[in-house]
Amino acid sequence: MEAHIVKALKLIGAEGPGRKHLAARLELGEGVVRTLLGRLMAAGLVSTSRSGTALTEMGRRFLSEVEAALPGRPLGRTDLTVARSNYLVLVRSGASRVRFGVEQRDEALLSGARGATTLLLRMGGLLVPGLEADVSPGLRDEIMALGPGEGDAVIIGSADSGLAAEIGAYSSAIALLTSG
């Protein structure tokens, strides 16, 4: 659900949607979105009015911090992904927390994605855990545009829809950050 919170805050910041529109964009029920908005309001992150929902100053700062810690972007199909829609998230200093990469895949599957690919930035290369090969130059360019550094991890969520890919990638990234 944390990934849905990130996506909701992004949508609220960009569009200021009403509850029904937000529910449709998040592909969640209106009751779930009503509860989500209630919790975000209680936390002081959003405010609502007849014209829609808006981020508060605290909400804007919080979203800015999340986007700095977990920058992400849509990604086209690659030879490493399993579905047509993909979304990549950079996890700063996350490489040391990755064991085999299957943990991130499993988290993405639980959130509704078709899979996730984990890459590690080590010794200047982007590597799949357990493999020696570097990634394709095109994928490397997409990832490097996010400004990764040594010891970062990249998670690419894959799904049949862009929303499911994004939710899968953020779910995996958040789980990685909160893992022991």
State the Cα–Cα distance between residues 117 and 140, nearest whole angstrom. 14
Specify the pLDDT at position 94. 95
Nearest by Cα to 109 from 32, 171, 178: 171
Is 3.30.1360.30 the CATH number for 70-178?
yes
Instruction: Give tens-digit pLDDT for 46-95.
Output: 999 999 999 999 999 999 999 999 999 999 988 889 999 999 999 999 99
What CATH number has the domain spanning 2-66? 1.10.10.10
Taking the domains of the chain in order of start, what are their residue ranges?
A: 2-66, 70-178
Q: What's the chain's average pLDDT?
A: 94
Strands (E), 59-114: 72-75, 85-91
Specify the pLDDT at position 173. 97
Which residues is 89 bridged to in the sheet? Answer: 72, 155
| Alpha-carbon distances, residue 127 vs 23, 135, 137, 153, 154 (angstroms) | 37, 7, 13, 9, 10
Phi-psi region of 86 (alpha: psi -120 to 50; beta: other; left: phi over 0): beta
Regions of the chain short of the pLDDT cut 50: none
Specify the pLDDT at position 46. 98
Query: 6, 62 in Cβ contact below 8 A?
Result: no
Paired sense of beta strands 153-159 and 115-122, if any: antiparallel
Query: 92, 69 in Cβ contact below 8 A?
Result: yes
Structure tokens at 169: 């990638």
